[in-house]
Amino acid sequence: MTIHELLDLIRRPYIEQFSRAKAEAVFHIEPVLRRSDGSPATEGTLVTPCRCDLVRKDTGASVAVNATERVRLDDLQVEIDGVTLKISAFSWDWLTLHIVGMPHADATVLVREWFLQWFDEDDDNSKNAEDFYGVVHFVSDPVELEGALQFQIDLGSAPATSACELIEQLLERGPTGLTLS
């Protein structure tokens, strides 16, 4: 099994639950939180926008889809060009990304740029075959933990390719370890 196939497998339970949730009412799907002037509302030191999962069209109530299932799998640990990559079963809507041995400023810039690329701030994406927009929803500010850097990421409806790209981009910058859990 490739890393892409593994990430696609991890993604599946969340997307299935998200699909069931959006079938329960008429929703705005994955809307960007916006200011009164229409610009995306941003927050944190990364100054990043955020998306809701669903917003009911009739009431305006926001509905969060929190994955209740995870794929059962053994932890994966591989070495790629001298970098240890660990992947544990995680919830697609709440990935903990742990980066070791990379300058924090470089990691922060890279994660922010990757996030904005997959966020689609201008809502240009068309719906995909799953009836979603293929976008990420949230990234936390980085937290330093024992010399490493940690982010929380809601991968939303983004495809497994998005997480693969993040891994590849980080590996190109030479960390000593990456953990997705």
Q: Which amino acid makes up residue 2? A: T
Q: What domain range includes position 86?
A: 3-180
Helices and strands: H and E segment counts in the chain: 3, 12
From the list 67, 69, 41, 38, the residue with the least C-alpha distance to 53 is 67
For residues 56 and 25, the answer to whether their CB atoms sit within 8 Å is yes
Query: Per-residue confidence at 77, pLDDT binned at 50, 70, 90?
Result: very high
pLDDT of residue 68: 85
Domains contained in the chain, number: 1
In tens, the pLDDT along 40-56 reads 999 999 999 999 999 99
Q: How far apart are the first and last CA of the chain?
A: 18
Q: pTM here?
A: 0.95
Q: Tokens 């997307």 — which residue? A: 15
Which string of b and e fits 94-108 if b means at least 16 CB within 10 Å?
A: ebebbbbbbeeeebb
Mean pLDDT, residues 55-70 taken together: 93
**How far is C-alpha 175 from the chain's CA centre?**
20
